[in-house]
Chain A
Amino acid sequence: MRMTMASRLSKVMLVLAALLVATAVYAQGQPPPEFVPVGEAPQAEQIPAMPLLGIAYGFIWVGMFAYVWSIARRLQKVEGELSALESRKS
């Protein structure tokens, strides 16, 4: 009898837990389905956007320049070695 009660109680607890999770998931906001353009920035700006924007673009620009420079340097080194070896052979 005790086992049956415990089993029933655990089943009820499981259903309650599932309901809680489902409620929490549905309580989350929906993402906007499309972007809407406006002429000016909204007034309620609590976190300044400009530093975030600057870091994002700066990171990509610096990363790109660094990568192009790295490829150019590696290629120059290998091709220099290659031409030196070819001229030595000929």
Chain B
Amino acid sequence: MTRGMTLMMAVAALMFAYAPFMIDNAPYEATMGLVYKIYFFHMPSAWMFLTAAITAGVASFRLLFLKRPRADHWVMAAAELAVLFGAFTLVTGPLWARKAWGVWWVWDARLTSSLMLFLIFVAYSLLRKYGGPGSDKLGAGLALFGMANVPFIYVSVNYWRTFHPPTSVVPTLPVEMGIPLWYCVFAFTLLFIVLLRLRARLEHQRERLEELYLAEDEA
């Protein structure tokens, strides 16, 4: 691991350790009270979920259309992170909704399309695990389809009727709520970069190992 990566990991760990104090100091929200504080981890998780889907889509484009075989490692890494951050988003959201809306789940455009995106990347992971030869290209097609879902998910709250807060909430947040939110977004982004690079490194090393075994068999 490079020094830069180690430093990023240390900063992300420190930021996560301090995050509960930042969130505790944030004020309550007028209608939702204490439970809205789930937002400080829910929203960054959701952004990383969408970022992971875009990363997987871009890497899939490089693999399929620019013929870069190593891009497959980045697709695999980003897809796994999409499942991880997707799970965070889809678990914390209903916990917030139970109190704020009185129900765990509603089948509106935002929630349904987010669940679809999560299932696309779960399908990708299963395909790569059990699909055998050729699953890399098939999976890349699936990841591209996942990326195409992202703009729809983002704007869905502005065009379809929903209880979910619209995108206008983030730019209009008061400073005392905005500071902890952007702090958490920064911590999640650092963590995302570190995890993405570590996961891609795992695939690079696995490829090297396979090449060495092949060379040994041929010798």
Contacts and interface: CB of A to CB of B under 8 A. Distances in A.
Given A59-B91, A85-B216, A50 B38 contact: no
Contact of A37 (B27, B84, B199): B27
Interface residues of A, number: 41
A56 B201 contact: no
User: Mostly helix, strand, loop or mixed at chain A's interface?
Assistant: helix
A64 interface: yes
Interface string B7-24: 000000000100010000
Counting chain A CB atoms within 10 Å of each CB, the highest count among B34, B37, B161, B213 belongs to B34
A1 interface: no
B161 A25 contact: yes
A85 B209 contact: yes
Nearest to A36: B30
B20 to A, nearest CB: 7
Nearest to A33: B168
B91 A35 contact: no
B37 A41 contact: no
Interface residues of B, number: 53
Given A60-B45, A78-B202, A33 B98 contact: no
B177 interface: yes
A29 B20 CA distance: 32
Interface in B70-85: 84
Interface in A55-90: 55-57, 59-60, 63-64, 67-68, 71-72, 74-75, 78-79, 81-82, 85-86, 89
Interface of B: 16, 20, 27-31, 33-38, 41-42, 45, 84, 87-88, 91-92, 95-96, 98-99, 102, 157, 161-166, 168-169, 172-174, 176-177, 191, 195, 198-199, 201-202, 205-206, 208-209, 212-213, 216
